[in-house]
Structure 1
Amino acid sequence: MERIAVLLPCYNEEQTIGKVIDDFKSELPHATIYVYDNNSSDRTSEVAESHGAVVRKEWRQGKGNVVRSMFREIEADIYVMADGDDTYPPEYVHDLIQPIRDKKANMTIGDRLSNGTYYDENKRQFHGFGNRLVKGLINRLYKSDITDIMTGYRAFDQLFVKSMPVMSSGFAIETEMSIHSLDKKFLIKEVPIDYRDRPEGSESKLNTFSDGIKVLRMIFTLFKEYKPFLFFSLWSLLSIVLGFAVGIPVITEFINTGFVSKVPSAILATGFMILGVLIFACGLILDVMTATYRKQYELELNHLYDRIRRNENEQG
C-alpha cells in the first residue's frame, strides 16, 4: 500500500486543527497525518494528539522552517501539504494526489483562484492584489501560466520533496516551491479547488505588507540565483544607459568645440560605462556557473530517482 503523508504546519490553530485532522482522516483513512507545532501558545498540540495526529515540534519560527523539517524527516510516497486553519477543503485531496499517482506530476497545486471563491471568501485587504502581482512577476520571468502561485494546498511525489532545497524561513515557502519547480522543470499540474475563509475567532498569521515584502524579496533573490545572465544584463543595461545620458552632452560639446569643460560628467559617464561592462561580465560568469550547477543537479536527481525506484521495487 502506498504511503501517504498529510503535512499540517501549525501555529496557534487550536480552534480548527481538530476538524482539519478529522476531515483528512475521513478522506484518506490510511494516511498518516503529521502536525508540526511551530511554538504555539495555545493547545494546538494537545488537540492534534487527541484527534490521532502524529505531533512534532519545530522550534525555529516560520513556515519555511517547518516545511524544511517536514521534507527532511518524513518518508512517504505521496505528500499532501495543507494548512491547519480549515481554509482548504479536504474533499479535493483526491484530485490533488491522482496526478501524482499517475506519474503525470511531481507537484500539484490547489488553485484557489480559478473558481472565484478566494476573492469572495478572503476578507483581508490587498491579498488578491498581492497574489496577482506575484503571479504576474513569476509567469513573466519563467514564461509560465500558473494561476495560483502562493496556495498552501499542494501534493508532491517523493522525488520533489527529497530534492527541494528549502531556503526561505517564512511564508515565502510557497513562492519558493513554485519557482524551484519551474526552474528545474518538474511536472506541475493545477487542480481548481474551493476556498473558504477562516471561521470566526480564528486569526490569520499573515501580515499583508511585511510578508508581501518578504515574498518580493524572495522573488528578487531567486531571480538573481536562477537567471543571473538576465538579472545582471538588466543592471548592466541600466548602467550603460545612464552612462550615455551623462556622456552624450560631453561628446556633443567635444565635437562642436574640440574641448571638454564638463570634466566631472565625463568621469561619471566613463564610470557608468565601465561598471556596466563589469556587471555584464559578472552575469556571464555566473550564468556559466548556474548552468554547471543545473547539470550537477540533474545528475543528483537521476541518482535519487533510481534510489526511489529501487525502494519501490523492494516494497512491491
Structure 2
Amino acid sequence: MHEDPGKQANPRVAVIIPAKDEAERIGMTVRAVKALPFVDLELIVVVDDGSSDDTQDIARQAGAVTVRHTVNRGKASSMETGAKVVAMRAVKGETPPLLLFLDADLGESAAEAAPLIEPVIKGEADFTIAVLPRPVGAGGHGFVLGLSRWAIRRTTGWNPQAPLSGQRCLTTAAFQAALPLATGWGVETDMTISLLSAGFAVKEVPVDFKHRVSRHDLASQMHRLHQFIDVVKAVFRLRARRVHIKKHKFLKVALKQKPGEVYRVPLDKDSEI
C-alpha cells in the first residue's frame, strides 16, 4: 500500500529528455525547460540514445547534462539512464527531486510543462500525465490508444484520456516503484498500471505541447505497428507478474471518476496486485 501523496518540501525538478536524432529540435527543447518553475538547471539531462547526428553536442551547448548510449537501447532504457544520472548528481541528504520526462521534439512548447509539475508539488498526485491537443493531420486509427486504454481500465478501473503520453512528472518514489520499466513503446502503459496497482495517485493535465505529427506514410504505419506490438508485450508481461487490482477494490472509485480529476484506488494490505 502507498500512503497519500504529500506536499513537496523545498521542491526541485529534474528534467529527463530521451533523444535520438533530434539535432533540429533538442536545443530549443532544452532552452525552453530552463524557464520552468522549480527546475534545477544542474539536473536537465538529455540521454542521447545512439544518435547518428549532433544531438548530444547541441544539447550540451544548450546547457544540458548529456549522456550517450553508443547504440540505440530504446526509450525505457533512456529513461532509466536519465534517472540514474539525476540520482548521482543530486545533493546527498536533500529531498529527491521530482522527475519530469519530456520528449525531445517539443521544441519551444516544452516551456508549457508547468501544469504537469504543480499537482505533484502540491501533493495532489504522485504522478501526472499530459493530455496534448490533437494535432491537425495526425495519422493513425486509435488501435494502439484503444488497446492501452482498455488494459489500464481492465486492471485498475481508470479510464485515461492519454494513456500513451510520455510527458510525465513523477516523484522519485513513484519512478522507483515502476522499475524495471517495460521495453519499447509499452513503457507508459506498463508504468501506469504498475503505479496505480501499488496505490499511487495519478492526474491527467491538459498541456499545450506541440511535437512532430505522425502521418499516414509507410514509416508512420510501421511505427504504429511496433507500438501496438510493444503494448501487447507489456500487457502480457503485467499478466505474468499478476499486476492488477481486484475489481471489487476499484469498482466504486472507477464509477465516480471524472476526466482531469485525481484517480487513486485506496488499497489495504490484503489487496492483490
Q: TM-score, normalised by structure 1?
A: 0.64
Q: Which residue in 1 is equivalent to 2:234?
A: 218
Question: Is the contact made by 1:171 and 1:215 (CA closer than 8 Å) also made in structure 2?
Answer: yes
Greater shift in the superposed pair: 37-46 or 208-217: 208-217
Q: Which residue in 2 is equivalent to 1:105?
A: 125
Aligned with residue 21 of structure 2, among 8, 12, 20 = 12
Give the Cα–Cα distance (whole angstroms) in 1 for the partners of residues 40 and 221 of structure 2.
31
Give the Cα–Cα distance (whole angstroms) in 2 for the partners of residues 100 and 7 of structure 1.
16
Q: 1:167 to 1:86 in 2, by over 3 A?
A: closer
Question: Is the contact made by 1:18 and 1:48 (CA closer than 8 Å) also made in structure 2?
Answer: yes
1:68 aligns with 2:77: no
Question: Is the contact made by 1:58 and 1:65 (CA closer than 8 Å) also made in structure 2?
Answer: no
Give the Cα–Cα distance (whole angstroms) in 1 for the partners of residues 108 and 163 of structure 2.
15
Runs of 4+ in 1 over 4 A off after TM superposition: 203-206, 227-230, 291-294
Give the Cα–Cα distance (whole angstroms) in 2 for the partners of residues 47 and 229 of structure 1.
44
Shift of 1:292: 9.7
Shift of 1:19: 0.7
Q: How does 1:189-268 map to 2 (within 5 A)?
A: 189-198=203-212, 207-227=223-243
Question: Is the contact made by 2:49 and 2:78 (CA closer than 8 Å) also made in structure 1?
Answer: yes
SS in 1 for 2:27: helix
Aligned with residue 100 of structure 2, among 63, 67, 80 = 80
The percent identity for this pair of structures is 24
Q: Which residue in 1 is equivalent to 2:263?
A: none
Q: Which residue in 2 is equivalent to 1:140?
A: 154
Greater shift in the superposed pair: 17-26 or 58-67: 58-67
Shift of 1:89: 2.9
The one-letter amino acid of 1:125's match is G
Q: 1:149 to 1:87 in 2, by over 3 A?
A: farther
Q: 1:151 to 1:125 in 2, by over 3 A?
A: same
Q: Which of the pair is proportionally richer in helix?
A: 1
Q: 1:122 to 1:173 in 2, by over 3 A?
A: farther
Q: Which residue in 2 is equivalent to 1:179?
A: 193
Q: Which residue in 2 is equivalent to 1:48?
A: 59
Report Cα offsets for 1:184-228 as digits up to 9, x if no partner: 11011111123434179xx97971112211111211221232258
The one-letter amino acid of 2:35's match is S
Give the Cα–Cα distance (whole angstroms) in 2 for the partners of residues 23 and 197 of structure 1.
14
Q: 1:228 to 1:146 in 2, by over 3 A?
A: closer
Corresponding pairs, count: 227
Give the Cα–Cα distance (whole angstroms) in 2 for the partners of residues 33 and 205 of structure 1.
32
Report Cα offsets for 1:67-90 as digits up to 9, x if no partner: 122233323421110100117932
In structure 2, stretches of 5+ residues that fail to align are 1-9, 88-95, 247-269
The one-letter amino acid of 1:35's match is V
SS in 1 for 2:130: strand
Question: Cα RMSD between the aligned structures?
Answer: 3.0
Give the Cα–Cα distance (whole angstroms) in 1 for the partners of residues 177 and 125 of structure 2.
15
Give the Cα–Cα distance (whole angstroms) in 2 for the partners of residues 187 and 228 of structure 1.
15
Question: Is the contact made by 2:32 and 2:108 (CA closer than 8 Å) also made in structure 1?
Answer: no
SS in 2 for 1:226: coil
Q: 1:218 to 1:66 in 2, by over 3 A?
A: same
Report Cα offsets for 1:65-121 as digits up to 9, x if no partner: 111222333234211101001179324322111111111211011122xxxx22x43
Q: How does 1:232-311 map to 2 (within 5 A)?
A: none
In structure 1, stretches of 5+ residues that fail to align are 231-290, 295-316
Q: 1:54 to 1:197 in 2, by over 3 A?
A: closer
Q: 1:125 to 1:147 in 2, by over 3 A?
A: closer
Give the Cα–Cα distance (whole angstroms) in 2 for the partners of residues 224 and 189 of structure 1.
27
Shift of 1:229: 11
Q: 1:99 to 1:192 in 2, by over 3 A?
A: same
The one-letter amino acid of 2:154's match is R
Give the Cα–Cα distance (whole angstroms) in 2 for the partners of residues 55 and 85 of structure 1.
16
Give the Cα–Cα distance (whole angstroms) in 1 for the partners of residues 116 and 234 of structure 2.
26
Q: TM-score, normalised by structure 2?
A: 0.73
Larger Rg, first or second structure (1 or 2)? 1
Report Cα offsets for 1:257-290 as digits up to 9, x if no partner: xxxxxxxxxxxxxxxxxxxxxxxxxxxxxxxxxx
Question: Is the contact made by 2:156 and 2:244 (CA closer than 8 Å) also made in structure 1?
Answer: no
